[in-house]
Structure 1
Amino acid sequence: MRKDLKPVLSALIIRHFLIIYAITIIYTGICAALLSKVEMWDFSMLKDTAIWMIFAALPAMYKAGRTPDIKQYFKTILVELAQITVLLEFIMGLHTYDLWKELLLAVLVLFLKGLISYSQKPEDVQVHKIFKKVDTAISLGIILLVCIYLYKHFLEYWTLAYLEQFVLPVELTLMLTPFLYLLIVYMRFEETFTTINSRIKPHKLLIFTKWMLMLHFFNNLAGIKRWEQQFFMRRPVTKQDVLNSIKDVKELQAAEANPPEVLLTNGWSPYLSRDFMRVHLLSAGQYVNHYDDSWGAISSTLHLSDDYLANDLIYEVTGTKTVVTQIELILKVFDRSKKGNAHEVFAKYLKHLFEEVFPGKTVPVELINRILKGKAYQMSYNTYLLVCDLDQYDNHLNSYNLKFAIRHPNHVA
């Protein structure tokens, strides 16, 4: 047990975490000082402020460093902060318990928040839904209890002192929001700048690149992340290259926001086809340029079991900048002895994909039979080509990939 805790405790005191602790304490102190200036904070609120900082501000800052999408972050974090604020005020403001009881109640609820965060992996989706329902029920229950308690003790709490204490967490949360935004922007740009610092020459071009990135992506963190991905494939060597790369990213984002119509005779829309498997948590990621005019998007890996050598599924679309011409579903079997019913599961996912691509049609029986047997096969379907490939690896586990592809007539290998 002690050995298991040692790396966790060590992680809590590493330099980056200590910096976050210090920033949180300093910023909370500044907020308290500002509220004190307008007579909305005094030292009697020190305990409430400290507990809010530990259980609301710090978790929000940790999540800020990991968020890939600033808009989605604030949609979720503001709701979570509101829930925690109401909870803390119910525990600390409306009732006076011993400090250890207040901390215990807060820790229990924060533990539930941690379970919700930890269970966000695709394979834990059912457990995540249960935790979310429990969390929602607790939050609604606390809000109801607060309303009932205030109704019964209206005159007792209708004083300026209690009102100031009750709204303190709300004030601190509102004051924290702009700081969180700046923190996210700083951390995201710092990450990108660390990537390009030693890779862009000369130094003048590096400085120009940083200024252009801040100018164009200050409020577009998804854009700066995509630019960084593109950077590894096409590194700018002139100022015009930098401007063109930024322009390309913005054009792609505009196309994603309003996908242009793609005629079926040309292929499939990149921004619609990548979501054909969304219902199975296999939505492909961003549609990016691999090389020349080769583009594609690939999903995260979906584990079919909890085993370390689990069978995995991957969904991928490839084509040109404007159209997808090949759609693939890939089964990765790492250990042939543990494949179990992997082929049957693969066939089920394949049927769904086929019906998405060809609405109202069913998968040819011969194709399903080949999939179940793990045999290579290809057949024409109208003007399309249906391909089943088997790639075997020469290792002691007899690993292999079973691939199913739908190729448009315009596909170029």
Structure 2
Amino acid sequence: MKLWTVSLLKDTILWVIFVGIGTLFKMNTIIKDKDYFKNAVKDNLKFMAILEFVIGLYNFSIWVELLIVPITAFVAILVGFTEKSNKYEKLYKLFNNILIFFGLALILRACFLAVIHFDEFATTDHLREFLFGPILSVLFLPFIYLMSVYMQYEDAFARVKFVLQSPERFSYARRKAFLKFRFDIDGLKRWANGLHRGKIKSNIDINNDIELIKQRQIIEKNPPIISETEGWSPYSAIKFLSNFGLGAGYYSAGYEDEWKAESSYVKIGDSLLSNKIIFYVRGSERIADNLELVLSVFTPNKTYDYHADLLNISMVLYEKATGQMIPPKIANAILKERNVKIDEGQFSVSVRKSDWGNSTGSYDLFFCIGHKAGEN
């Protein structure tokens, strides 16, 4: 059986326009999604792809299509709008159930017609048409992967060139990075983002910097065991709040021998200016001894309880860090924005508010757990 015939010319053109070119326009998004390639393969092999193909074989008449498409599109928009707020929960369920009912109706209709007209359905042309898109998409993935690697190298080298400034040193750093990192984009980014102008004074410094990254990666795969009396393993601590989108990233050296990891900001609330929470892990090279959550409220809003969000995350952090429930005094301080500091065994726990002093009443609220071993 030939994979491609002239009958697939329309499918080929549509694939190139909507999948091929469309994917290239999404390269920046693909680069940020670590699971893109795994999910792309799954999407082309999953059962839903078969259903979509079968449904596509049995279209309605043009007049019915012109009636159904705008209605379903409008309902889909309503679903997207109502799911953002709890006050529209009943409407969201109604519109979502309408979409589900319509989808099931399409599936049942298509399956019924496929069974009734099985001889027309089970043809070589239909099999070829079904396999064409997924095969082309999977074969396209290696090109997309190489393109993503190239773009990330270009992005990393732009920063390296800015930091090093010397053309000769930059040329050496680029060659060394290619040899050492190859397809290790994670390591490449860590090295490029960690470069500081005053730190690199020779090619030896470049070698040492790259080797340091490789060593850290080895340690992260087999982190040392830290006893509870010493503090926390930084490689465990950075994952304490991953379920909230607050995974703290890479634990690395900062200024004045302090080691630190920090998460990306997570938006909370629905105000125009984003109110955010961020998570920090601090300590020495081997041990983390300070965990901190910071709630930044840009636009205070009495209709949204930011402190309840902070308390919810703080309770999880405290339990994972200490194995205990958060003290009621600390929980109350978070909800009431009060400055409190208490000792709980080998831990020091505090809540602190810092006003920005602006006209909108913006402020930061800090929740911190310190291990006393780090104070010695």
TM-score by length of 2: 0.78
The match for 1:23 is none
Matched, 1:369 2:340: no
The match for 2:367 is 404
Structure-2 separation of matches of 1:211 and 1:138: 57
The match for 2:299 is 335
Identify if the C-alpha distance between structure 1 residues 136 and 235 changes in structure 2 by more than 3 Å, giving closer, same or farther.
Answer: farther
Q: What is the letter of the counterpart of residue 80 of structure 1?
A: D
Q: What is the letter of the counterpart of residue 393 of structure 1?
A: W
Matched, 1:320 2:291: no
User: Which of 236, 244, 269 lines up with 2:200 in the alignment?
Assistant: 236
Q: What is the letter of the counterpart of residue 44 of structure 1?
A: S
Is contact 1:285–1:297 with CA below 8 Å preserved after alignment? yes
Q: What is the letter of the counterpart of residue 327 of structure 2?
A: P
Structure-2 separation of matches of 1:334 and 1:356: 29
The match for 1:388 is 351
User: Which of 155, 158, 175 lines up with 1:191 in the alignment?
Assistant: 155
- Unaligned segments of structure 2, at least 5 residues: none
Structure-1 separation of matches of 2:101 and 2:144: 28
What secondary structure is seen at the aligned counterpart in 2 of 1:411? helix
Is contact 1:90–1:142 with CA below 8 Å preserved after alignment? no
Structure-1 separation of matches of 2:161 and 2:285: 29
User: Which of 180, 196, 211 lines up with 2:144 in the alignment?
Assistant: 180
Matched, 1:249 2:210: no
Structure-2 separation of matches of 1:332 and 1:407: 20
Instruction: Note the aligned Cα RMSD (angstroms).
Output: 4.1
The match for 2:39 is 76
Structure-2 separation of matches of 1:341 and 1:263: 37
Matched, 1:290 2:237: no
Identify if the C-alpha distance between structure 1 residues 167 and 371 changes in structure 2 by more than 3 Å, giving closer, same or farther.
Answer: closer
TM-score by length of 1: 0.72
Matched, 1:219 2:183: yes
Identify if the C-alpha distance between structure 1 residues 141 and 174 changes in structure 2 by more than 3 Å, giving closer, same or farther.
Answer: farther
Q: Deviations over 1:76-95 (max 9, x none)?
A: 22233446864664466x45
Identify if the C-alpha distance between structure 1 residues 161 and 229 changes in structure 2 by more than 3 Å, giving closer, same or farther.
Answer: same
How far residue 182 of structure 1 moved from its aligned partner, in angstroms, is 1.0
Farther-moved stretch of structure 1 (319-328 vs 302-311): 302-311
User: Which of 36, 54, 60 lines up with 2:23 in the alignment?
Assistant: 60
Structure-2 separation of matches of 1:382 and 1:48: 68
Matched, 1:167 2:131: yes
Structure-2 separation of matches of 1:82 and 1:99: 30
Structure-1 separation of matches of 2:306 and 2:11: 53
Structure-2 separation of matches of 1:296 and 1:245: 17
How far residue 67 of structure 1 moved from its aligned partner, in angstroms, is 3.3
Matched, 1:40 2:18: no
What secondary structure is seen at the aligned counterpart in 1 of 2:254? strand
Structure-2 separation of matches of 1:56 and 1:255: 40
Is contact 1:56–1:85 with CA below 8 Å preserved after alignment? no
5 Å matches for 1:275-286?
Answer: 275-286=239-250
Structure-1 separation of matches of 2:185 and 2:249: 16
Structure-2 separation of matches of 1:141 and 1:255: 54
User: Which of 260, 285, 306 lines up with 2:270 in the alignment?
Assistant: 306
The match for 1:26 is none
Structure-2 separation of matches of 1:165 and 1:224: 41
Identify if the C-alpha distance between structure 1 residues 262 and 246 changes in structure 2 by more than 3 Å, giving closer, same or farther.
Answer: same
Identify if the C-alpha distance between structure 1 residues 365 and 178 changes in structure 2 by more than 3 Å, giving closer, same or farther.
Answer: closer
Is contact 1:371–1:388 with CA below 8 Å preserved after alignment? yes
Is contact 1:87–1:139 with CA below 8 Å preserved after alignment? no
Q: How many residues align?
A: 358
Is contact 2:279–2:293 with CA below 8 Å preserved after alignment? yes
Identify if the C-alpha distance between structure 1 residues 245 and 147 changes in structure 2 by more than 3 Å, giving closer, same or farther.
Answer: farther
- Unaligned segments of structure 1, at least 5 residues: 1-37
How far residue 348 of structure 1 moved from its aligned partner, in angstroms, is 3.2
How far residue 224 of structure 1 moved from its aligned partner, in angstroms, is 1.8
The match for 2:164 is 200
Identify if the C-alpha distance between structure 1 residues 39 and 353 changes in structure 2 by more than 3 Å, giving closer, same or farther.
Answer: closer
Q: Deviations over 1:171-218 (max 9, x none)?
A: 311320111111111111111122223432432321221122223333
How far residue 384 of structure 1 moved from its aligned partner, in angstroms, is 2.1
Is contact 1:68–1:221 with CA below 8 Å preserved after alignment? no
Identify if the C-alpha distance between structure 1 residues 371 and 156 changes in structure 2 by more than 3 Å, giving closer, same or farther.
Answer: closer
What secondary structure is seen at the aligned counterpart in 1 of 2:29? coil
Farther-moved stretch of structure 1 (235-244 vs 397-406): 235-244
Structure-2 separation of matches of 1:238 and 1:278: 38
The match for 2:234 is 270
Identify if the C-alpha distance between structure 1 residues 292 and 251 changes in structure 2 by more than 3 Å, giving closer, same or farther.
Answer: farther
Identify if the C-alpha distance between structure 1 residues 335 and 173 changes in structure 2 by more than 3 Å, giving closer, same or farther.
Answer: closer
Q: What is the letter of the counterpart of residue 194 of structure 2?
A: Q
Q: What is the letter of the counterpart of residue 366 of structure 1?
A: K
How far residue 148 of structure 1 moved from its aligned partner, in angstroms, is 7.0
Structure-2 separation of matches of 1:409 and 1:207: 47
Is contact 1:233–1:291 with CA below 8 Å preserved after alignment? no
How far residue 150 of structure 1 moved from its aligned partner, in angstroms, is 5.9
Identity %: 28
